[in-house]
Amino acid sequence: MTTIDSFDARLVRVPLTRPWASDVTTVGVIATHVVLSDGVEGWGFSWTPQIGAEAVLAHLAHDIAPFAQGRDADPAELWDATWAHIHEAGGGGVTTIGLAGLDLAVWDATARAAGLSITDHLGRARSSAVAYGSGVNLHYSLDELVAQAERWIEAGFDAVKIKVGKPDIAEDVARVRAVRETLGPRRALMIDANQRWHLEKATEAIAALSAFDLAWIEEPLRADDLAAHTELARRIAVPIALGENLHTIHRFGDFLRAGAGQIVQPNVVRVGGITPFLRIAALAADHRVALHPHLLPELSGQLALALPEVPGIAPPLAEDVEDAGFGALGALADPSPVVIADGRLTDLPHVGLGLRFR
């Protein structure tokens, strides 16, 4: 039996080329490293854009690493045992974000031992995935927003996503109209409210914005408000996308059974790593709901290439936030394991996750 010989973590602050807000100029990456009893090494990470990086680092050092030492390195067995151990501190959030750092490092080591990329280790389903242009742009002026949409068109994206949630719905309407006019009728347009609305405001806003042929409305309400999402889904025709702030398969199950969302977007780090991500993907397939991974295309894009085809369900998309990839930000010790060009994500030759941080 291969076991965990050692595990450590360190905090890396990655400066953003395009700040996500006046107070969000960096993202926090907790880089992790595991050594297995057979000598194989693996590298992973936890991630949080603004809140909690130091808490995650402390959780890894004081709670997760000591528990993992000497345990079976099988990813599923290790994940289940560790999650049960740390559950006293909460079923999700800091706990699962921290646990991702261990899970990803172990998966990396497992794939490296096999001499394969994580996509090929899991089982490749496709050679490329459609990518969509995305941006944290609610603070952009209208001219800046339109210029960003023009850059996405120039880069070959056929689908883009912008932020909404201005205090005045009329301003959201003006911004979405301008982007739709820039994109033309052929390209897909998604909007993301980042939990800014309550039920009545969301109903009013989506009624006004649905005129612009929206592919989905993302996180219209507070992420943990199941009842409000269920009622909003009953009221509107625009598909609801959710899940970047759901942390466990149990919460995804609650929302899917209630019909509260038509698209799920698990964040591979926030749910605790590849092990739970794959389980959530299987659950989404059982419910015949499309799954599009949230952010982190260098990793989630590789998983998108491995997710099985589900007949009648759209294949997974990769989200490319402008100038926010780890490779583009100079955060990686090696070349990025993926490339996004002409609106598609493909992987490059590498082993494991291909993600080691400077």
Model confidence pLDDT, tens digit, residues 61-76: 999 999 999 999 999 9
pLDDT score of 300: 98
Which of 299, 300, 231 lies closest to 291 in space, CA to CA? 300
Residue 140, φ and ψ in degrees, nearest 5: -70, 150
The reply to whether 119-347 shares the fold of 4-115 is: no
**What is the mean pLDDT of the segment spanning 329-345?**
97
Q: Assess whether 198 carries a catalytic annotation.
A: no
Question: Given 33, 59, 161, 163, which residue is catalytic?
Answer: 163
Supply the Cα-derived Rg of the chain in whole angstroms. Answer: 20
Map out the domains of the chain as residue ranges. Answer: 4-115, 119-347
Q: Assess whether 163 carries a catalytic annotation.
A: yes
User: Exposed/middle/buried for 184, CB within 10 Å: 0-12, 13-18, 19+?
Assistant: exposed
pTM for the structure as a whole = 0.97
CATH of 119-347, one of 3.40.1260.10, 3.20.20.120, 3.40.50.800, 3.40.640.10: 3.20.20.120
CATH of domain 4-115: 3.30.390.10
Name the token pair of 211.
């005129």
Average pLDDT value for the chain: 97
pLDDT score of 21: 84
pLDDT per residue as tens digits for the range 221-236: 999 999 999 999 999 9
Which of 190, 175, 204 lies closest to 241 in space, CA to CA? 190
Where are any strands of DSSP class E within 103-213? 129-134, 159-163, 188-192
